[in-house]
A and B are shown apart, each in its own frame.
Chain A
Amino acid sequence: MKGTSKEPYHVVYSSEIITEQTENQNSNTYKIAIVPKVMNIPYFNAVEQGAMEAANDLQVEVIYQGPNIANSKQQIEVVDQLVRNENLDVLAISANDPEALLPSLKKAEKMGVKVITWDADTLPEGRSFFINMVQDETLGRHLMDTLAWNIDEKGKFAIMTGADTAANLNEWLYWIKQQHQEFYPDMQLVETVAANDDPQQAYIVAKELLAKYPDLDGIIGNSSVAPPAAAQAIKEEGKVGEVAIVGLSSPNPMNEYLKKDIVHVVTLWSPKKLGYLTVALSKQLAEGDFPYNNQEIGGVGKIRVDNDTVIMGEPIDFTKENVDQYDF
């Protein structure tokens, strides 16, 4: 009614004032450190790629840095250095040892850095939540199954694992053995050896195994460096077709072995996806939000959350038919 008022509109009722959402309101980008168990193996390189992809998509600063050997002492040094030198918002770590890292992580937390774990967990008090790739039980039992398919559920086999302190590896080992005891009485586990995620060491360990057990029927690689090393070993020893190799490995290092029927199947998840998810959830945590069950994460899809553990998805089997589809 007031024709003289200068405003062209007169608010009659307002429940709230809309604050315009600006696209890049977090101009102060978060700084996130992703620490793998070890640098420069294909698996963790793929994680790095995924993490960097996410850093680009989500506009955060990601520092990807880890020890050169999969060893908790070196990892602690890396963590301490990162916490000291970088003004971190979130530290996401794949722990080589569930206990040894705790003091460093606690210290980081005291300095205001939020800590999560991925790939390999620490004790729960050391972190906010753990990003697991797959359910441990599912993976462990599946690894055992894949070997059983390849050797008709009978014969001798050995397991090659990474660092014998790594929590995730030990968890899988437990479920591999569990599945073995429950369903495959005709199979015999001869030895479980650790190779510390070192390709060179893994190769030596594989050779030793082949020499020690000439009638060995299969090897389960419980760490991503194990299957390629074992494959290389049996190829060199001329035992192709005699010793079946299954286990955890990325498709790219295994491509050639799969195509040449040296190895029939390896199992893994997408480490790129893991890297991407880790960065996405780190950013979300930096903003103060925790993941929840069935949450849709852009670029990753839906995740599951079980208490303080995030489960990324299901394991993927790579065979010579599908291995070309994957690039990590």
Chain B
Amino acid sequence: MIFNYFRNRKLMAKLMITYILVTVIPVSVLGYIAYKQYTMSIENQVGEYIPKLLEQANTNINNQLNDYKALPDALYNSSQVIEVLRKDAYQNNSALFRDEFLVNGTLSRMYMTSGNPDILGVFILSKNRLFQSAKQTQVNIDIENFPSFLGESIDLNGGTEFILPNQVDLEFEGDSPFLFMMRELRDYENQENLGTMFIAIRLSFIEQAMQGLTRDRSPSIWLTDQDGRFIYHSDPNMIGEIDSQFQHYPKVNGSFRTTDWMNNDLISTYKFPSMNWYSFHRIPLRELMKETNVVRNGTIIAFIIIVVLSSVISVLLAWNVSNPIKKLTSLMKRVEKGDFTVDLPMDKKDEVGMLANSFNSMIQEIEYLIRENYQIELKQKDAELYALQSQINPHFMYNTLETIAYAVEEDEKEEVIKMVTLLGRMLRYSLNNKEKLVPISLDVSHTKDYLTIQRFRFEERINFSITINVDQERYLIPKFILQPVIENAIKYGLDRSRRINIDVRIIKNKDDNLLIEIADDGPGMEESMLKKIQITLSQNPMIRDSQYGLLNVHTRIKMMYGEQYGLNIDSKAGYGTVVYLLLPLEDNLERKGVS
């Protein structure tokens, strides 16, 4: 259907659609693929790069945690503290307070004043005694409170546990989030439990470890335990909450992307080396694609420019191809109707130019052939008919026959014979229409015959001379071009003059053309009359009037040889008239040789 529809479209439409499709589709597909690939490679690069950073951060955090885990070990270096912790009964309060003073002081020296600045407080719960040292003096915890938030009994099996801040009802000044490390203190020698040590550690060490990840963008970073509970989150309010999505996250060390249409995030994750802790890094894809979007927009702009350019070019190209064809079509329609004056100007050298050229030359050829074979023929026939008519014109016939009759009466036998012979020869020349072109001599002798007959009639009133300066046997001229001009001169000359002299000169002019001058000393013409005739000649009308003979000659010469040739008249009233016939030198030998 579409194909058929398309098949019947105009060539221009077809070309345009094709061009646009051929440029727009590949460019858009290419652009889309390039953009897709580019974003994918960024996604992959970031997806590969972030987990490595996370791994590094995890290692740092883990090392830090291991350092923290080792903190309680320092306590074993103080045998005094261990000794106090081993005791479980007191005789009096002063002994208890002395021990508390000793242990609290040791804790303070060991952890608070010389230790890590991130340690917020240290507590030891041992056999119903609470030893403590904290950064802020106002933190003072009752011994009764401790078991309440930890549950009744603690049995860590010798291990270390972490309690998240919101699980403990304990606050430090500044409300900074912290991690509560819980470690069983074991009496290695007796293999008994000495108590439990609690160390509150500010989470800033995690923040520091994660700093490298937040440098240039603002991702969400968080740490969870194996249940998805936030140990650390870049949004402090989230710490302690449970990540509802945690169970759905793919369990990989790497990166994954949400497949949601609206919120496209790239999440990277890495598991801690020795714990069931996970670190996460979440960044919206559009954040990553900020730079890419410049490329994308650039691509889109380039795409639009290309589309516009290619559309313009395709329109121009289509127009360029289809327009000459359209022109050609309309010209052909005119030619169809018989107008051969068409011309398709085309300076191009491509196929369309060649077509136009061929068309032009074909039209010219057709026109030429029509003129050659039809119009010239027609004119020639006209001329022949005219010549015949003029000869068998009743007036001419009557005068001639009357002249012959006078001659017979006066018994001028030779004259009669001559006149009859001339008349017969003229009629034969007129009727013999095998050739259009004849040697100059033939037409000249026909003219001489005519003038001779006229001289029999008008006796001394007509004088004529014919001078021929060219080889009259060799060069050809159209038949009947001399007689009509001379007939015209006699007709108008003898109307108003007593005598008339006619001089015919046939020469080769300086341009190597054949020039025939027919000069008479008749009455001549008024200037206005001359103008009228000259205009008539230049207009080349096909009218039949008094100057028919002259016009016929003029038209035939033009038709046969071209515009530069033809008939011209120069006349002055009272001085006579000169008629010029300009013809090419048509060589009989050459012509025969060619044909």
Binding site for B on A (CB under 8 A): 1-3, 5, 7-18, 20-21, 49-50, 53, 57, 269-270, 272-273, 275-276, 296, 298-302, 316, 322, 325-328
- Picked from A50, A302, A325, the residue with its CB within 8 Å of the CB of B86 is A325
CB distance from A278 to the nearest CB of B (A): 12
Q: Are A13 and B190 in contact (CB under 8 A)?
A: no
Cβ–Cβ < 8 Å partners of B255 in chain A: 11-14
For the complex, give the distance between the alpha carbons of A84 and B76 in Å. 43
Q: Is B259 an interface residue (CB 8 A)?
A: yes
Q: Are B188 and A326 in contact (CB under 8 A)?
A: no
- Picked from A12, A17, A272, the residue with its CB within 8 Å of the CB of B251 is A17
- By Cβ-Cβ distance, the 8 closest A-B pairs, closest first, are A14-B254, A270-B189, A12-B47, A13-B47, A272-B191, A14-B252, A298-B158, A299-B158
- Picked from B157, B245, B252, B266, the residue with its CB within 8 Å of the CB of A57 is B157
For the complex, give the distance between the alpha carbons of A18 and B266 in Å. 19
Given contacts A9-B259, A12-B47, A12-B254, 7 further A-B pairs with CB under 8 A are A12-B44, A14-B252, A17-B251, A17-B252, A269-B189, A325-B82, A327-B190
Cβ–Cβ < 8 Å partners of A57 in chain B: 157-158
Residue of B nearest to A327 (CB): B190
Q: Are B250 and A11 in contact (CB under 8 A)?
A: yes
Q: Is B261 an interface residue (CB 8 A)?
A: yes
Q: A2-B259, A3-B259 are in contact. Are A50 and B159 (CB under 8 A)?
A: no
Residue of A nearest to B85 (CB): A325
Q: Are A13 and B83 in contact (CB under 8 A)?
A: no
Residue of B nearest to A51 (CB): B191
Residue of A nearest to B51 (CB): A15
Cβ–Cβ < 8 Å partners of A272 in chain B: 189-191
For the complex, give the distance between the alpha carbons of A322 and B157 in Å. 27
Cβ–Cβ < 8 Å partners of B264 in chain A: 1
For the complex, give the distance between the alpha carbons of A269 and B189 in Å. 7
Q: Are A21 and B276 in contact (CB under 8 A)?
A: yes
Q: A13-B255, A17-B252, A328-B190 are in contact. Are A3 and B261 (CB under 8 A)?
A: yes
Cβ–Cβ < 8 Å partners of B70 in chain A: 296
For the complex, give the distance between the alpha carbons of A21 and B225 in Å. 12
Q: Are A9 and B189 in contact (CB under 8 A)?
A: no
Q: Are A299 and B250 in contact (CB under 8 A)?
A: no
Q: Is B271 an interface residue (CB 8 A)?
A: yes
Binding site for A on B (CB under 8 A): 43-44, 47-48, 51, 70, 73, 76, 82-83, 86, 157-159, 186, 188-192, 226, 245, 248-261, 264, 266-267, 271, 276
For the complex, give the distance between the alpha carbons of A302 and B258 in Å. 46
Count: A-B pairs, CB below 8 Å: 111
A sample of 13 cross-chain residue pairs with beta-carbon separation below 8 angstroms, ordered by A number, consists of A5-B259, A10-B257, A12-B254, A12-B266, A13-B48, A13-B51, A14-B250, A14-B252, A16-B252, A57-B157, A273-B188, A299-B188, A326-B189
CB distance from B55 to the nearest CB of A (A): 8
CB distance from A194 to the nearest CB of B (A): 28
Cβ–Cβ < 8 Å partners of B252 in chain A: 11, 14-18
For the complex, give the distance between the alpha carbons of A21 and B251 in Å. 12
CB distance from B283 to the nearest CB of A (A): 12
For the complex, give the distance between the alpha carbons of A1 and B260 in Å. 8
CB distance from A179 to the nearest CB of B (A): 25
Q: Are B259 and A11 in contact (CB under 8 A)?
A: no
For the complex, give the distance between the alpha carbons of A122 and B344 in Å. 120
Cβ–Cβ < 8 Å partners of A7 in chain B: 259
CB distance from A317 to the nearest CB of B (A): 12
Cβ–Cβ < 8 Å partners of B76 in chain A: 301
Cβ–Cβ < 8 Å partners of A299 in chain B: 158, 186, 188, 191
Most B CB within 10 A of own CB, among A14, A49, A300: A14
Cβ–Cβ < 8 Å partners of A13 in chain B: 44, 47-48, 51, 254-255
Q: Are A326 and B190 in contact (CB under 8 A)?
A: yes
For the complex, give the distance between the alpha carbons of A174 and B188 in Å. 29
Cβ–Cβ < 8 Å partners of B48 in chain A: 13
CB distance from A62 to the nearest CB of B (A): 14
Residue of A nearest to B248 (CB): A8
Cβ–Cβ < 8 Å partners of A49 in chain B: 191
Q: Are B253 and A12 in contact (CB under 8 A)?
A: no
Q: Are A53 and B43 in contact (CB under 8 A)?
A: no
Cβ–Cβ < 8 Å partners of B245 in chain A: 8
For the complex, give the distance between the alpha carbons of A275 and B266 in Å. 52
Q: Are A50 and B191 in contact (CB under 8 A)?
A: yes
Q: Are A316 and B189 in contact (CB under 8 A)?
A: yes
CB distance from A226 to the nearest CB of B (A): 21
Cβ–Cβ < 8 Å partners of A326 in chain B: 189-190
Cβ–Cβ < 8 Å partners of A20 in chain B: 226, 251, 276
For the complex, give the distance between the alpha carbons of A38 and B43 in Å. 68
CB distance from B201 to the nearest CB of A (A): 19
